[in-house]
C-alpha cells in the first residue's frame, strides 16, 4: 500500500490512474499534460476535427480542458491502453511540430526536437525515477528522450511536471515506458489532487467529499468546515464593524488519507510536528482517530485559504518524504550490517 495517498478528484483522473477494477480485461492509463492555449487550438482543430481524428486513429479518449479567463494554459487528457496513449501523444506532438511557424519537413534528416509537460502524481514520482535515478535513466536510454522532473508540486495540487524532450517518436517511446511504470504501481496515484491552471478560483476545486469512486466536490462539506474554522480561528467582531469583515471568505477544505504507520511521523512527539505544520501553514488540520476504511489509512482534514492549504500539503509531503528516506536508509544499513 502506498506510503502517501491523497483524495482522488473524481472529475479528472490524475496521471497514472487506471480503471478501478484490477481484474478488468484491459488496464486503462489516463495521462494528462499541460499545454498552452495555442497548442490546445492545434490539438482540437477546426470544429474539433483534429481531436476527433485522434480518438478514432489512436483508439483513445482525449480532450482539452475549457478555457479559464486570464489563464494561458490548459490540460490535455488522454485515456486508453498504454500503447494507444503513447501513439496518441506521438501523433499530437508531431502535429504540434508540423504546425509551428517554421516546421522541419518530416522527410528531413534533421531531428525535430520538442517537448511535452506531463502532469504526474507526486506519489508516483519515485516509481518513474527509481532508486538512485536508475529507472529514469533506463527510460531515457530506451527511448532516446530526455526527462526533467520538477521538484515542487503545482499550486493547489499534488502533481508535478515531468518534461519529456526529444523527437516526437522518442517522446512517444518514453511515454509508453512511463505509462508502464505508472500502471505497475497505480495504487500510489489513487489519492492525487489534480492540478488545474488558475487553481483556487473555483469554490469547489479544493473541497472534497467521499463518493463511490473516490472524492468528488462537496460544497456543503466546505460550508460546514468554513463555519467551524471561523468560530474557532477568528477574532471577536468589533462593535463598530460587521462580523463578516473579520472572517476569511475563501476557505477551502481538503481531505487526505495517510497510512496509519506514517501518522506518527507527522504528529511527532507530543504533537510537536503537526503543531508546527499548523503554525507555519495557517491551516486547521484535524486527524481522524481511527482508520476510515479497510485500507488502514487515517483521514487528515485540512481547512484554510488556498495558499495556506497548499503550504500545509507541501509540509506534510516533506515530512512523509523525510520519513521514507529515513526508513530506506535504516533498511540499507541493516542489510549492509548483515552482509
pLDDT for the residue 113 = 77
Per-residue pLDDT at 197 exceeds 60: yes
From-to residues of CATH 3.30.1370.10 in the chain: 208-232+247-338
pLDDT for the residue 180 = 94
pLDDT for the residue 7 = 33
User: Does CATH place domain 7-100+111-189 in 3.30.310.210?
Assistant: yes
Better-scored residue on pLDDT, 28 or 238: 28
pLDDT for the residue 146 = 95
E strand or H helix at 312, and its extent? helix 306-338
E strand or H helix at 180, and its extent? helix 168-184
Helix (H, G, I), strand (E, B) or coil at 237: coil
- Taking the C-alpha atoms of residue 306 and residue 250, their distance in angstroms, rounded to an integer, is 7
Better-scored residue on pLDDT, 223 or 242: 242
Cβ contact 140:182 at 8 Å: no
Edge-to-edge strand list for the sheet holding 61-64: 61-64, 73-80, 29-36, 114-121, 159-166, 146-149
What share of the chain has pLDDT > 70, as a percent? 72
User: Could you count the other beta carbons within 10 Å of the beta carbon of residue 230?
Assistant: 17
- Taking the C-alpha atoms of residue 48 and residue 54, their distance in angstroms, rounded to an integer, is 10
pLDDT for the residue 204 = 33
From-to residues of CATH 3.30.310.210 in the chain: 7-100+111-189
Cβ contact 60:16 at 8 Å: no
Q: What is the DSSP letter of 65?
A: P
- Taking the C-alpha atoms of residue 296 and residue 316, their distance in angstroms, rounded to an integer, is 19
Q: How far apart are the first and last CA of the chain?
A: 28
Per-residue pLDDT at 99 exceeds 50: yes
Tell me the average pLDDT across 84-98: 95
pLDDT for the residue 111 = 54
Better-scored residue on pLDDT, 208 or 152: 152
- Taking the C-alpha atoms of residue 113 and residue 271, their distance in angstroms, rounded to an integer, is 51
Range in 27-31, 78-82, 157-161, 197-201 the model is least confident about:
197-201
Per-residue pLDDT at 236 exceeds 70: no
- Taking the C-alpha atoms of residue 23 and residue 46, their distance in angstroms, rounded to an integer, is 39
Better-scored residue on pLDDT, 156 or 5: 156
Tell me the average pLDDT across 201-220: 31
pLDDT for the residue 335 = 79
pLDDT for the residue 323 = 84
- Which range of 21-30, 82-91, 269-278 scores highest in mean pLDDT? It is 82-91
Better-scored residue on pLDDT, 242 or 119: 119
pLDDT for the residue 320 = 82
User: 521538484: which residue's cell?
Assistant: 151
Range in 72-76, 280-284, 294-298 the model is least confident about:
294-298
Range in 15-19, 267-271, 335-339 the model is least confident about:
15-19
pLDDT for the residue 102 = 57
CB within 8 Å of 206: residues ≥ 6 apart: 156, 193, 199, 200, 252, 253, 254, 306, 309
pLDDT for the residue 9 = 31
Q: Which three cell numbers stand for residue 111?
A: 531531428
Cβ contact 241:234 at 8 Å: no
- The CATH code that applies to domain 208-232+247-338 is 3.30.1370.10
Per-residue pLDDT band for 17 (boundaries 50, 70, 90) equals low
Q: Which three cell numbers stand for residue 56?
A: 478514432
- Catalogue the E-assigned strands of the chain: 5-6, 29-36, 61-64, 73-80, 114-121, 146-149, 159-166, 208-211, 214-217, 252-259, 284-287, 297-304
Amino acid at each position: 500500500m502506498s506510503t502517501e495517498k491523497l483524495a482522488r478528484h473524481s472529475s479528472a483522473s490524475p496521471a497514472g490512474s487506471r480503471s478501478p477494477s484490477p481484474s478488468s480485461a484491459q488496464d486503462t492509463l489516463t495521462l494528462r499534460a499541460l499545454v498552452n492555449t495555442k497548442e490546445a487550438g492545434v490539438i482540437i482543430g477546426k470544429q474539433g476535427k483534429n481531436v476527433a481524428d485522434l480518438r478514432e486513429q489512436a483508439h483513445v479518449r482525449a480532450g482539452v480542458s475549457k478555457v479559464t479567463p486570464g489563464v494561458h494554459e490548459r490540460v490535455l487528457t488522454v485515456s486508453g491502453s498504454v500503447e494507444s496513449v503513447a501513439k496518441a501523444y506521438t501523433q499530437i506532438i508531431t502535429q504540434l511540430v508540423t504546425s509551428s511557424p517554421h516546421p522541419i519537413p518530416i522527410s528531413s534528416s534533421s531531428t525535430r526536437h520538442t517537448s511535452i509537460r506531463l502532469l504526474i502524481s507526486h506519489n508516483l514520482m519515485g516509481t518513474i525515477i527509481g532508486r538512485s535515478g536508475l529507472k529514469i535513466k533506463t527510460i531515457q536510454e530506451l527511448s532516446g528522450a530526455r526527462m526533467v522532473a520538477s521538484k515542487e508540486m503545482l499550486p493547489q495540487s499534488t502533481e508535478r511536471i515531468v518534461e519529456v524532450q526529444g523527437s516526437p517518436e522518442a517522446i512517444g517511446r518514453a511515454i509508453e515506458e512511463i505509462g508502464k511504470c505508472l500502471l505497475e504501481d497505480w495504487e500510489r496515484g489513487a489519492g492525487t489532487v489534480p492540478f488545474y491552471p488558475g487553481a483556487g478560483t473555483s469554490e469547489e476545486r479544493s473541497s472534497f467529499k467521499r463518493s463511490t469512486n473516490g472524492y468528488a466536490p462537496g460544497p456543503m462539506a466546505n460550508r460546514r468546515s468554513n463555519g467551524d474554522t471561523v468560530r474557532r480561528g477568528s477574532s471577536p467582531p468589533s462593535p463598530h464593524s460587521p462580523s463578516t469583515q473579520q472572517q476569511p471568505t475563501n476557505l477551502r477544505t481538503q481531505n487526505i488519507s495517510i497510512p496509519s504507520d506514517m501518522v506518527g511521523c507527522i504528529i511527532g512527539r507530543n504533537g510537536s510536528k503537526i503543531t508546527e505544520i499548523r503554525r507555519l501553514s495557517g491551516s486547521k488540520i484535524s486527524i481522524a482517530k481511527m482508520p476510515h476504511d479497510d485500507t488502514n489509512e487515517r483521514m487528515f482534514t485540512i481547512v484554510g485559504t488556498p495558499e495556506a492549504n497548499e503550504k500545509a500539503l507541501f509540509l506534510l509531503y516533506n515530512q512523509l518524504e523525510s520519513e521514507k528516506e529515513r526508513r530506506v536508509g535504516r533498511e540499507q544499513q541493516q542489510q549492509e550490517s548483515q552482509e
